[in-house]
Structure 1
Amino acid sequence: MRKKCSILAAVLICLLAFVGCGKDYTTQFSEVNQLEGVTLELQADTLKSTSATFLLTNGSDQEVSYRLLYHLEEKKDGVWEEFPGTAGATWGEETTAVAAGETAEIPINWKTLCGGIGKGEYRIILLVNDMPVAAEFTQE
């Protein structure tokens, strides 16, 4: 009886592991950086395994706004894949405006959502005026 229970428990654990691994985390953003004059880049010397600061520059002639809703993605075998913890994560409905010609400094801490990142190619995506704006960076 004990042996049957052990085998059953092992089978259930394996099934749960396979169900969790079967999700497709391929990016939902096939096109980014289509908002004319608006760029997002990593601020120099701020990248850590759990956080970074990004600069959102509004080079357009109109105000833009963003909500602190971000997606963190890693490039695997040439394909962008989203970290499960950042898919649709939000911190309130409040929007922040960036005036024409201005730059906003945006600190982002992803530790509580997806832990730390290792070596690799990454990108962070913010929705600015509901359009995805991305900054690519490499963790070495």
Structure 2
Amino acid sequence: MNTGKQTLVEPVLDITEAQSFPMAYSNIEKEENSEKPKEIFVCQNCRFSVPYDYFGRRPPFSKSFVLMEEAFVMKDPFSADGGMITLGSNCSSCGAIVCLSQDCSLFYTKRFCLPCVKRNLRDFPSEIIEEMKRKRKE
């Protein structure tokens, strides 16, 4: 029966709750995505590129490791116990950023890019010279 009176129904959320909910939700999204964008490691020889997590000798996520050189490192995505993957380093001669591929660099007391090794081959020990000769034949 319609008596002509309108019944007021209280809203489930009052206006202040309705306005704060989307704001709180967007803050949660920002907190989840608050990590700064990762910098990208790019080898100057082969152009291999990948985001890296750390540059230095003591990665904070692998406390038991101290690297022999300052290196670009990423967290190992397949390791549950804080593993890491070393990507590359700077050539100690020219400063180029190079990956650890045998086609791009070698480590002999320090990291050297292959162009610098070739330019200064006479300064390296005979084992390195022989290895470089063998690579040229391949």
> When the two structures are superposed, what TM-score results if normalisation uses the length of structure 2?
0.31
| More helix as a share of residues | 2
Structure with more contact order per residue of length (Cα contacts < 8 Å, sep ≥ 6): 1
| More strand as a share of residues | 1
Larger radius of gyration: 2
